[in-house]
């Protein structure tokens, strides 16, 4: 029987329409064209902490208690993250996370949003890769994260994975959301995205696996750089979905129909984990 897998790729700080319209993200554009694109609106404040907490747990701000990147007073214990939920549904499922932003998965810092699960790590059912893009830069961190993601997909084929890429957000802060540097950073992130998706295609064909791949962002950037408020350009997010099977890439059989899935209606940040997990059911 064909094994089902899910992979969510998070591109921090991405202005989707600019990325697609500029031609800077051909791999993301191809994924969108082959699958389904659902618009969603992020809850204010539009910082990475609360954004990723909602996207990865299905809890809203009032439930997870994350309102900034300090995570002070958070109540993430009220729910569980996407990978933990996948494992809870079947304790034989392997899970994988790779991130250059430590609060996603580092137990030594604020958060983490994704549970450490040391017991599963010891037996190889949960793999964690953490790089420090905040200190050493996200171009370096993203390269490592993408390389480990390709290796994990090729060799282990986790049932549920989350991969975080942060260089676009870093460039948005440094140079602004309409700068050539921001566009160049999107291009480099897109190369990583393309390589990761290619690894999924190879794995699906070689191992008779059925993958649901999603791509999303936690917020955009204002023109001069930055986020946190209610500007449409920073609250605008998306969920791009595509199914990759031994037969190829398709929009058929996605767990959410495209009809009526407009921004702020059918798809919310708190729906993302549920939508992906439906593929494993």
Residue-number span of the structural domain to which 9 is assigned: 3-278
pLDDT tens by residue, 207-243: 999 999 999 999 999 999 999 999 999 999 999 999 9
Question: What CATH number is attached to the domain comprising 133?
Answer: 3.40.720.10
- Does residue 258 surpass a pLDDT of 50? no
Instruction: Please state the domain count of the chain.
Output: 1
User: What does the alpha-carbon distance between residue 57 and residue 40 come to, in Å, rounded to a whole number?
Assistant: 16
Mean of pLDDT values over 162-187? 98
pLDDT at 83: 98
Confidence grade of residue 262 (pLDDT, cut at 50, 70, 90): very low
Mean of pLDDT values over 261-274? 75
Of 143-157, 189-203, 254-268, the one with minimum mean pLDDT is 254-268
- Does residue 259 surpass a pLDDT of 50? no
pLDDT at 281: 87
pLDDT tens by residue, 54-78: 999 999 999 999 999 999 999 999 9
pLDDT at 263: 39
pLDDT at 1: 58
């Amino acid at each position: 029987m064909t094994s089902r897998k899910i992979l969510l790729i998070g591109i921090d700080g991405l202005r989707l329409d600019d990325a697609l319209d500029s031609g800077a993200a051909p791999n993301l554009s191809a994924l969108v064209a082959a699958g389904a694109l659902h618009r969603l609106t992020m809850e204010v404040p539009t910082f990475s902490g609360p954004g990723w907490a909602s996207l990865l747990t299905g809890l809203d701000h009032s439930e997870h208690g994350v309102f900034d990147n300090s995570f002070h007073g958070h109540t993430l214990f009220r729910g569980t993250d996407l990978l933990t939920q996948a494992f809870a549904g079947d304790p034989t499922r392997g899970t994988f996370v790779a991130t250059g932003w430590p609060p996603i998965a580092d137990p030594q810092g604020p958060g983490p949003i994704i549970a450490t699960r040391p017991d599963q790590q010891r037996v190889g059912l949960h793999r964690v890769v953490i790089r420090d893009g905040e200190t050493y830069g996200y171009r370096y961190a993203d390269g490592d994260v993408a390389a480990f993601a390709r290796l994990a997909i090729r060799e282990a084929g986790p049932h549920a994975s989350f991969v975080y890429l942060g260089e676009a957000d870093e460039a948005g802060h440094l140079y602004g959301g309409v700068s050539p540097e921001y566009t160049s950073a999107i291009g480099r992130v897109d190369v990583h995205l393309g390589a990761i998706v290619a690894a999924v295609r190879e794995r699906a064909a070689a191992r008779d696996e059925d993958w649901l791949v999603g791509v999303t962002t936690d917020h955009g950037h204002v023109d001069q750089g930055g986020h946190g408020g209610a500007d449409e350009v920073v609250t605008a997010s998306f969920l791009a979905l595509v199914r990759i099977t031994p037969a190829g890439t398709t929009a058929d059989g996605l767990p959410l129909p495209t009809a009526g899935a407009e921004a702020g209606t059918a798809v919310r940040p708190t729906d993302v984990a549920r939508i992906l997990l439906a593929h494993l059911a």
